[in-house]
């Protein structure tokens, strides 16, 4: 069986998908003790280590993975922290410790020399620069952007840290692969150059219309079918938020539907956001039951990105988060409610991880030797 090593393991979405694809994950590293507990609750026999990737060398990884120095690793994966590249954050790129952890991942890949690697991050990585210049300091009255300030320079810098790999990068929508969620993430997959193999991202199997030989996107209703008679755990809306959420039509909608009650109601509900630009689609949003869910976030009650239940007057529950991400029915998440949302919201959807794992396995299969 192909051997994999996992960094930034989190709640285990990537690891579970890879196991389903045919990989044996020999070592999973996670810095957060609560997230480690989640993995151990569900997979007591899994080799989960609590630690900081910055403290690891190839030798330590092999030792804790119970591998000899002559053993080959087929795949190294990681869903690295994304805040340093998120458009909602300060975009500090690799000057942020979380960005530095991504470069450490690259250094370990170079040292370990697996057949392939997979790195996942937010779409903001595609446009991030090594140095972020505020928008109000750009324009004809300011100097031209330096090479480090040009959009995409962060990704270019990162890829330069994989000199031994033929790298493919793609922005994938999980819904296009059968996940009931329109989740867009960047996937960077490299195959070691001496293998003389080319990785091509798998063709989408689903689309919005079910045309061109594709299957129709799966929906929230599809995900919720397995939740009958399930007890739900969720955070509560404030009384003010609940008042307006009760006005949103059942089945799906958002703040625009408040106009049925008059523009004054809309203004009161939206507050300062009423006059702001943009579509504001996440305000007072009930997700649509007959569509894929929007991207699951680390909280379902963020004001501008609300994830309200299609029919009930509450946010999505942890159980619904798990169903949308397609975790096993019995999956347990450690920690308090907020911690649980963060873990599941940050996970790679299991179905997508499996699809990518199988595609990688197809490319590198001729180089796999069995490790006892």
Mind telling me the catalytic residues? 82
CA atoms within 13 A on the CB side of 372: 0
Close Cβ partners of 225 (under 8 Å, ≥ 6 residues apart): none
Nearest CA-CA partner of 58 in 134, 5, 121, 130: 5
SS3 (DSSP) at 190:
strand
Question: Contact at 8 Å (CB) between 343 and 335?
Answer: yes
CB atoms within 10 A of CB 367: 16
**String of DSSP letters for 208-226:** SS--TTPEEPP-HHHHHGG
Nearest-angstrom CA–CA distance, 95 and 128: 12
CA angle 334, 337, 338 (to 5 degrees): 105
């Amino acid at each position: 069986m192909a051997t994999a090593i996992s960094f930034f393991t989190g709640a285990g979405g990537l690891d579970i998908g890879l196991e389903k694809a045919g990989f044996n994950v020999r070592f999973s590293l996670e810095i957060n003790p609560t997230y480690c507990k989640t993995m151990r609750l569900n997979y007591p026999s899994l080799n989960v280590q609590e630690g900081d990737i910055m403290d690891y060398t190839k030798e330590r990884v092999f030792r804790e993975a119970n591998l000899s120095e002559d053993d080959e690793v087929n795949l190294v994966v990681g869903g690295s922290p994304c805040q340093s590249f998120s458009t909602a954050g300060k975009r500090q790129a690799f000057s942020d410790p979380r960005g530095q952890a991504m470069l450490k991942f690259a250094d370990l890949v170079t040292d370990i020399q697996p057949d392939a690697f997979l790195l996942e991050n937010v779409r903001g990585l595609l446009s991030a620069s090594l140095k972020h210049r505020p928008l109000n300091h750009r324009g004809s009255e300011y100097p031209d952007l330096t090479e480090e300030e040009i959009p995409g320079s962060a990704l270019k810098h990162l890829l330069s840290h994989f000199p031994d790999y033929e790298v493919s990068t793609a922005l994938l929508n999980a819904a296009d692969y059968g996940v009931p969620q329109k989740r867009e993430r960047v996937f960077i997959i490299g195959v070691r150059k001496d293998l003389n193999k080319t990785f091509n991202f798998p063709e989408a199997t689903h689309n919005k219309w079910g045309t061109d030989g594709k299957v129709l996107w799966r929906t929230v209703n599809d995900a919720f079918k397995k939740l009958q008679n399930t007890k739900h755990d969720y955070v509560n809306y404030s009384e003010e938020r609940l008042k307006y959420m009760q006005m949103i039509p059942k089945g799906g909608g958002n703040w625009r539907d408040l106009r049925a009650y008059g523009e004054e109601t809309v203004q009161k509900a939206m507050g300062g956001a009423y006059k702001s630009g943009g579509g504001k689609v996440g305000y007072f949003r009930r997700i649509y039951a007959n569509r894929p869910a929007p991207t699951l976030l680390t909280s379902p009650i963020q004001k501008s990105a609300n994830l309200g239940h299609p029919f009930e007057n509450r946010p999505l529950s942890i159980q619904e988060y798990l169903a949308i991400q397609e975790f096993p029915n019995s999956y347990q998440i450690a920690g308090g409610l907020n911690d649980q949302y963060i873990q599941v919201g940050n996970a790679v959807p299991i179905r997508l991880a499996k699809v990518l794992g199988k595609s990688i396995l197809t490319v590198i299969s001729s180089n796999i030797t069995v490790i006892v």
